[in-house]
Chains A and B, each alone.
Chain A
Amino acid sequence: MSIPAPMAMLAELTHRCPLSCPYCSNPVELTRKEAELTTGDWLDAFRQAAELGVLQLHLSGGEPVSRRDLPELVAGARAAGLYTNLITSGIGLGEARLDALEAAGLDHVQLSLQGTDAAMADRIGGYRGGFDRKMQVAGWMKERGIPMTLNTVLHRQNLHQLPRAIEMAQEMGARRIEVAVVQFHGWALPNRAALMPTRAQSDEATRIVTEARARLKGKLVLDYVPADYHTEKPKRCMGGWGMVGLNITPEGTVLPCHAAETIPHLRFETIRETPLRDIWYDSAAFNAYRGDAWMQEPCRSCDLKKVDFGGCRCQAMALAGDPAATDPVCRKSPLHAEIQSCAEEVATSATADFSYRMM
């Protein structure tokens, strides 16, 4: 099979973050500051990515604003020709920092929203005062005309706030809102009992999004990630393993997706030792789930195998214990019925406490 050049790269600049959201997509084993790539390492990675064909760079974390060299990284990414998107909670962004990021050529900001009021947002983020600061930052961005998307993560405890989140996106002057129902990777997996939405909540979210898309056409774009466990068809995860995008962790490990390290038999290479081009095209880990030679039944003979690629490899690992299995979310998986009934049981049980993310 021919391997396409990558389109997008997620740079996890740091795992440091003032928030401690219980659904954080970072791995449960976090990287400390001393082990992070240097400014020069990142600038070199951005140049290599652009030469390889990457067009869109997402600067993420942890909280990427925790990196003091962020404006320099943005300037370097732009100089390499990359569209530069900052994914932030807003905490730590002051007016001077925003000015520096604008001057460096930052293209777009995705501002995360943990809840639509301080009580909810600060409890989910585990950071008192976070919501008020975020709203202040949103105001500064609006004044400057910085293009913005509001990123919401919804789950059992805040899903009822979706209509207000859509209003807030418009008030902030955002052109887009990402409505993502929590996906169970990273810290979300051990917090499943506290986060799992009910099927009724999941259906309600879909109804609200469908209605808002029609009503706000040309005003606000809604991108929607539905509740995974309540669907019948698995997600087209990452647009296919090693087909569209790649991730670099704070210490330089190059991954096909942010959860890939949960697959224990794969060995991932580091940008400190191997050129990005070689990792993308030639590494065993990136080639592990390309094409369909790795697939088992029912994926192998399925009409949809080129549509959804059998779903998410990390979810197959987490739920079926085999990364080459059909994603158990799929109605054709032998585990499907069990996953769905287990999800509903967890979602309707007494609410569990959060295990907050911590270093």
Chain B
Amino acid sequence: MSLSADTVPALPRGVRLHHDHVRDRWVLLAPERTISLDPVGHAILSEVDGTTPFGGIVDTLAAKYSAPAAQIATDAGEFLQGLADRRIVDLRP
């Protein structure tokens, strides 16, 4: 299941993208959770600014990484929905 193009993903207050210098990786810091991000996860979350709708994020990623938009929409949609189920990302209709 992919997200609707109009949905606006946002990192809610209390969730922060953080560069872990000691382990040289990006993490998402949330209440009682530290989520280690691979380069794909980091690329997706770097485009989440709380105003750009999901469709715009997919277009940006597709252009940046020369990848098919449909594939990106599926992968990024599942990733963001998974975080939303855990209240780590907000999805605003």
Chain A positions within 8 Å of B, measured between CB atoms, are 5, 7-8, 51-53, 55-56, 81, 83, 85, 107-108, 110, 145-147, 149, 175-176, 178, 217-221, 223
Contacts of A220 in B (CB 8 A): 87
Kindly identify, within residues 9 to 24 of chain B, every residue whose CB is under 8 Å from any CB belonging to chain A: 12-16, 18, 20, 22-23
Known interface pairs A55-B18, A218-B87; A147-B29 also in contact (CB < 8 Å): no
Q: How far is the CA of A67 from the CA of B84 in the complex (A)?
A: 35
Partner of B22, one of A5, A107, A223: A5
B86 at interface (Cβ–Cβ under 8 A)? Answer: yes
Contacts of A5 in B (CB 8 A): 22-23
Does A83 lie within 8 Å of B87, measured CB to CB?
no
Q: How far is the CA of A221 from the CA of B82 in the complex (A)?
A: 13
Does A52 lie within 8 Å of B22, measured CB to CB?
yes
Contacts of A8 in B (CB 8 A): 34
Known contacts A8-B34, A55-B27, A145-B13; 13 further A-B pairs (Cβ under 8 A)? A5-B23, A53-B22, A55-B18, A56-B29, A56-B32, A83-B29, A83-B34, A108-B14, A149-B31, A175-B12, A175-B14, A178-B32, A221-B87
Known interface pairs A145-B13, A147-B13, A221-B86; A56-B34 also in contact (CB < 8 Å): yes
Does A147 lie within 8 Å of B31, measured CB to CB?
yes
B85 at interface (Cβ–Cβ under 8 A)? Answer: yes
Closest Cβ of chain B to A204, distance in Å, is 25
Does A83 lie within 8 Å of B22, measured CB to CB?
no
Contacts of A149 in B (CB 8 A): 31-32
Closest Cβ of chain A to B9, distance in Å, is 13
Closest Cβ of chain B to A255, distance in Å, is 20
Does A218 lie within 8 Å of B32, measured CB to CB?
no
* Chain B 18-47 per-residue mask, 1 if CB under 8 angstroms from chain A, else 0: 101011000101011010000000000000
Please report the number of residue pairs spanning A and B whose Cβ atoms sit closer than 8 angstroms.
57
10 tightest Cβ-Cβ pairs between the two chains A and B: A147-B14, A53-B22, A83-B29, A175-B87, A108-B31, A108-B14, A218-B85, A221-B87, A55-B34, A147-B13
A-B contact pairs, 30 of them (CB 8 A): A5-B22, A5-B23, A51-B22, A53-B23, A55-B34, A56-B29, A81-B18, A83-B16, A83-B18, A85-B31, A85-B32, A107-B14, A107-B16, A107-B29, A110-B31, A146-B13, A147-B13, A149-B31, A149-B32, A175-B14, A175-B31, A175-B87, A176-B31, A176-B32, A176-B87, A178-B32, A218-B84, A218-B85, A220-B87, A223-B32
Which residue in chain B gives the minimum CB-CB distance to A107?
Answer: B14
Chain B positions within 8 Å of A, measured between CB atoms, are 12-16, 18, 20, 22-23, 27, 29, 31-32, 34, 84-87
Closest Cβ of chain B to A216, distance in Å, is 10
Contacts of B22 in A (CB 8 A): 5, 51-53
Q: Which of B18, B27, B86, B87 has the most CB of A within 10 A?
A: B87
Closest Cβ of chain A to B37, distance in Å, is 13
Contacts of A221 in B (CB 8 A): 86-87
Contacts of B29 in A (CB 8 A): 55-56, 83, 107
Which residue in chain A gives the minimum CB-CB distance to B20?
Answer: A55
Contacts of A146 in B (CB 8 A): 13
Contacts of B15 in A (CB 8 A): 147
Q: How far is the CA of A357 from the CA of B86 in the complex (A)?
A: 35
Q: How far is the CA of A5 from the CA of B22 in the complex (A)?
A: 8
Known interface pairs A53-B23, A55-B34, A223-B32; A217-B18 also in contact (CB < 8 Å): no
Which residue in chain B gives the minimum CB-CB distance to A220?
Answer: B87
Which residue in chain B gives the minimum CB-CB distance to A110?
Answer: B31
Q: How far is the CA of A81 from the CA of B34 in the complex (A)?
A: 14
Q: How far is the CA of A53 from the CA of B36 in the complex (A)?
A: 14
Contacts of A108 in B (CB 8 A): 14, 31
Q: How far is the CA of A140 from the CA of B84 in the complex (A)?
A: 25
Which residue in chain B gives the minimum CB-CB distance to A175?
Answer: B87
